[in-house]
Amino acid sequence: MVETMKWENGKLILLDQTKLPVSVEWISCDTYQRVGKAIQKLEVRGAPAIGAAAAFAMVLAWRKIVEKYETKRDAANTSNMQLQTYAAMLYGSHDHAAKKLQQQLLKKFLQTRNDLDASRPTAVNLSWATKLMYDAACKMSEAGLDLPQTDAELEKLAVKVYEQDIAKNRKMGEYGAEVVPEEAVILTHCNAGALATCGWGTALGVIRSAHEKGKVKMVYSDETRPLLQGSRLTAWELLEDNIPVTTITDNMAAWSMKTKGINIVITGADRIAANGDTANKIGTYGVALAAKAHGIPFYIAAPASTFDFSLKNGSQIPIEERNANEVRSFQGKVSAPKNVNVFNPAFDVTPAKLIAGIITEYGVLRPPFSKSIKELKTKVLREELFTWKA
């Protein structure tokens, strides 16, 4: 199974997905800005992977923020002095100084969170992870942790996000494999595999688990215009795992459903509203409509962190629009007149009424989704898997 990222020696090492399948190259990130750039450029992509990368980016940001204050301390010729003691020189008593210093650091940390959130607005896992890390830092400050302790605890939390994502995907795969029929001919869109997560995958995780059970006859992978995540990434992943795959262009999906015996559709998700409306890669809505017309069950596979319980329905989901040149050209080759108007939304929203079930690490949610998602929210709040506690 392909690896998407590594945390090594205080740096986040990302697999550059824009280079696949031609070459396997890695990007070394030692600042949160470089991680943000990787997210924007789709060098790392997929909602769960973006979330984990953002968690590590927050660790990098915290270290840079503290480093700047240490540089100020050293410039004052007090390099042997604890940073909190130096702060006391600036702000008065130790207690007051520590509080003032933490406020300054947290203010900078909040700006980091906002910067990262702006890098890709649709994938809710991104803001979920940055909020998690920022809230944890605030709680650590309230608990009286010093700066090295806060640094260590933030790193542990980011690693936990990474490790838990793989565990959740495995669990999701187990539940999802149960809904996959024998002799399954599966259609999937974009890439919701190990490359889109920290490992195993969401939609492709379900497919992997079903393949282990001998259920998969063939997977049809939509090419996924304009950046070809389906043909470049999904096909590559499945071939690497010796899972039978056929790539089709997006406009072949409906005809393939009619002529190739497709009996289930499984995709990932970038944000799911409280009523089950689901944002995913552009083209998913059309696939869901075609599946409905052919009587084929359409499933979403996504972890609980992809649900935005604050949104009543899909009309409230922000849809990212990307650079027009992604459509006018591809890999340096012109594919449209350079001055033509372009509409390039990165996502669309599939109405809940087209979805047969949503596969999560807690089980398969069924309609009515307003009820099943409300029950999921209760479970998530009760478990509080990622809440930092002193």
Bridge partners, residue 280, by sequence: 348
Is 95 annotated as catalytic?
no
Q: Strand 5-8 to strand 11-15: parallel, antiparallel, or no bridges (unpaired)?
A: antiparallel
Q: Of 74, 98, 95, 89, whose CA–CA distance to 146 is shortest?
A: 98
Q: Burial, 189: exposed, middle or buried (Cβ in 10 Å; 0-12, 13-18, 19+)?
A: buried
What does each C-alpha distance from 302 to 25, 89, 210, 364 come to in angstroms?
Answer: 27, 50, 16, 10
> What does the alpha-carbon distance between residue 381 and residue 106 come to, in Å, rounded to a whole number?
25
Phi, psi of 131 (to 5 degrees): -65, -40
Omega before 21 within 30 of 0, i.e. cis: yes
Tell me the two tokens of residue 384.
């509080």
State the catalytic residue, choosing from 270, 277, 308, 348. 270
> What does the alpha-carbon distance between residue 200 and residue 177 come to, in Å, rounded to a whole number?
13
Q: Which residue has the tokens 């002193």?
A: 390
Three-state secondary structure call for residue 15 = strand
> What does the alpha-carbon distance between residue 61 and residue 116 come to, in Å, rounded to a whole number?
10
By annotation, the residues acting in catalysis are: 270
